[in-house]
């Protein structure tokens, strides 16, 4: 989406003026393009042990230039810190400072990724200290990066090593341009019995159609983020059913025709909405593998001025409709069904004038945690994506100066995300490569939200 401010400060006199005035100068983010390498330069892999060596072998199999020690005059495209065997805070210092030297020479759009264990109540204090300490370290590194670089982390569950397919799928996502607006985030990867592609020997585009043969339903798909999700799922190989209210029928049909999919005009607050979706998907396509709950509304008002209608409508559309649809999907006993729901950073940190919306989106994260075990038992899973400030046709109408001031609150990437950024995260979590990731919420917010 074109942005006059970013165009102005990105080159020439505007760039010089912005620097003199201390205005934010958002970098161009490295987003996914077919055929481009997964990393924009050599990969520095810090750490020792079995997982580090396994990962080095895999990355070499992806035809990446892997270095095990920092050297000067190298523009690193990625830095890995493998710390799953750390047991004391003293072990973090040396690789952290070595990473610091590498940060000075990162290529634009580089990635920093940590592999570690998540702290538990059963850990010895020294083990818990280094594990939690590494979380704070990576989140802080993310705020220091420039040039569109990002930093994220992966927690390795019991039995997960450097050859685990879901771990490698997550690494591919974080390394690639698909994670352009995911920054300062952690995902946990558990050992999974599900059948997933063996990505150890594939180069980046070797899995360019991870959803081939899948049938996906996307609600609220007539425009905006929903339409972007449908397009990315189609790009990744899925047959797409787009769903929206009858009033959006013309726009919905255009999206369906563009993607060679089918359109279903449906009010998702209907008691039988889940059954209607099942009947359409199974009747027209013979299966249902993926459901993306994107449809949602806002009815913003300060709580003191909130009326019953505004409260009830948001809860009904955003939360209660999904509960009913999920019950229908579980009752159908679909094997391998993966569900991704759209939460929001408003549901994590709250937002003035959005008590109803924040309650609904926080509630969805509770739904994810409570529903995911039942889906996992059937070889599937459920996760949430929580977007932050995403620049759409609606936000483009905000005055340029207002958006520029807002970017001062986004110290890492200094810009809003795009619908594509949300769609990339959704498609990854819907794919077999994410089979070891379940019951979690992934923020797509450019680390603009204070705290976790």
- Which residue ranges make up each domain of the chain? 32-189, 215-444
Q: Give mean pLDDT, residues 184-208.
A: 67
pLDDT in tens, 307-343: 999 999 999 999 999 999 999 999 999 999 999 999 9
pLDDT of residue 400: 62
The whole-angstrom separation of Cα 241 and Cα 281 is 7
DSSP 382: E
pLDDT over 50 at 50, yes or no: yes
Q: Give mean pLDDT, residues 45-61.
A: 95
Radius of gyration of the chain (CA): 22
Q: Give mean pLDDT, residues 231-237.
A: 97
pLDDT-based confidence at 394, cuts 50/70/90?
Answer: low
pLDDT of residue 16: 66
Are the CB atoms for 244 and 221 separated by under 8 Å?
yes
At the fourth CATH level, the homologous superfamily of domain 32-189 is NAD(P)-binding Rossmann-like Domain (3.40.50.720)
The whole-angstrom separation of Cα 178 and Cα 84 is 25
pLDDT of residue 380: 96
pTM of the model: 0.92
Reduced to 3 states, what is the DSSP secondary structure of residue 29? coil
Which residue, among 388, 449, 436, has the nearest Cα to 184 in the 3D structure?
Answer: 449
Within this chain, domains 32-189 and 215-444 share the same CATH topology:
yes
Name the average pLDDT for the chain. Answer: 90
Which residues 6+ apart lie within 8 Å of 133 measured at CB? 89, 92
pLDDT over 90 at 10, yes or no: no
pLDDT over 80 at 401, yes or no: no
C-alpha torsion sign, points 250, 254, 257, 262: negative
* CATH no. of 215-444: 3.40.50.720
pLDDT over 90 at 208, yes or no: no
Q: Give mean pLDDT, residues 188-192.
A: 89
pLDDT over 50 at 203, yes or no: no
pLDDT of residue 14: 60
Q: Give mean pLDDT, residues 120-127.
A: 95
In the residue annotation, 357 being an active-site residue is answered as yes
pLDDT in tens, 129-169: 999 999 999 999 999 999 999 999 999 999 999 999 999 99
pLDDT-based confidence at 2, cuts 50/70/90?
Answer: very low
pLDDT of residue 391: 83
């Amino acid at each position: 989406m074109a942005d006059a401010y970013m165009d102005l400060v990105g080159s020439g006199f505007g760039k010089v003026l912005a620097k003199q005035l201390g205005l934010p100068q958002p970098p161009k983010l490295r987003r996914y393009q077919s055929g481009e390498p997964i990393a924009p330069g050599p990969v520095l892999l810090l750490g020792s042990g079995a997982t580090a060596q396994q990962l080095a072998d895999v990355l070499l199999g992806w035809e990446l230039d892997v270095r095990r020690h920092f050297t000067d005059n190298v523009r690193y495209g990625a830095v890995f810190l493998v710390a799953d065997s750390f047991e004391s805070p003293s072990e973090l210092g040396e690789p952290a400072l070595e990473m610091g030297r590498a940060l000075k020479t990162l290529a634009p759009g580089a990635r920093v990724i940590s592999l570690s264990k998540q702290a538990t109540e059963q850990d010895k204090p020294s083990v818990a200290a280094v594990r939690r300490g590494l979380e704070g370290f990576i989140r802080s590194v993310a705020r220091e990066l420039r040039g569109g670089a990002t930093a994220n982390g992966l927690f390795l569950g019991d039995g997960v090593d450097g050859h685990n397919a879901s771990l490698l799928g997550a690494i591919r996502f974080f390394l690639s341009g698909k994670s352009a607006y995911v920054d300062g985030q952690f995902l946990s990867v558990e050992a999974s019995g599900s059948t997933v592609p063996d990505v150890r020997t594939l180069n980046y585009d070797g899995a360019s159609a991870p959803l081939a043969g899948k049938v996906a339903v996307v609600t609220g798909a007539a425009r905006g983020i929903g339409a972007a999700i449908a397009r990315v799922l189609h790009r990744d190989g899925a047959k797409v059913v787009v769903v929206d209210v009858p009033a959006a029928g013309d726009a919905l049909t255009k999206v369906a025709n563009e993607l060679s999919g089918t359109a279903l005009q449906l009010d998702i607050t209907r008691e039988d909405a889940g059954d209607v979706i099942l009947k359409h998907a199974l009747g027209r396509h013979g299966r249902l593998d993926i459901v993306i709950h994107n449809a949602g509304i806002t009815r913003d008002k300060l709580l003191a001025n909130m009326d019953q209608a505004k409260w009830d409508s948001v809860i009904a559309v955003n939360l209660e409709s999904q509960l009913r649809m999920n019950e229908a999907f579980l009752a159908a006993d679909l094997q391998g069904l993966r569900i991704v729901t759209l939460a929001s950073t408003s549901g994590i940190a709250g937002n003035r004038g959005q008590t109803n919306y924040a309650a609904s989106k926080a509630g969805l994260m509770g739904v994810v945690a409570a529903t995911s075990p039942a889906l996992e038992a059937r070889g599937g899973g459920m996760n949430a994506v929580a977007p932050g400030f995403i620049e759409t046709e609606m936000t483009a109408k905000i005055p340029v100066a207002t958006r520029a001031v807002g970017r001062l609150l986004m110290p890492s990437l200094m810009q809003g995300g795009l619908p594509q950024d949300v769609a990339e995260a959704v498609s990854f979590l819907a794919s077999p490569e994410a089979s070891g990731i379940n019951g979690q919420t992934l923020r797509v917010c450019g680390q603009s939200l204070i705290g976790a």
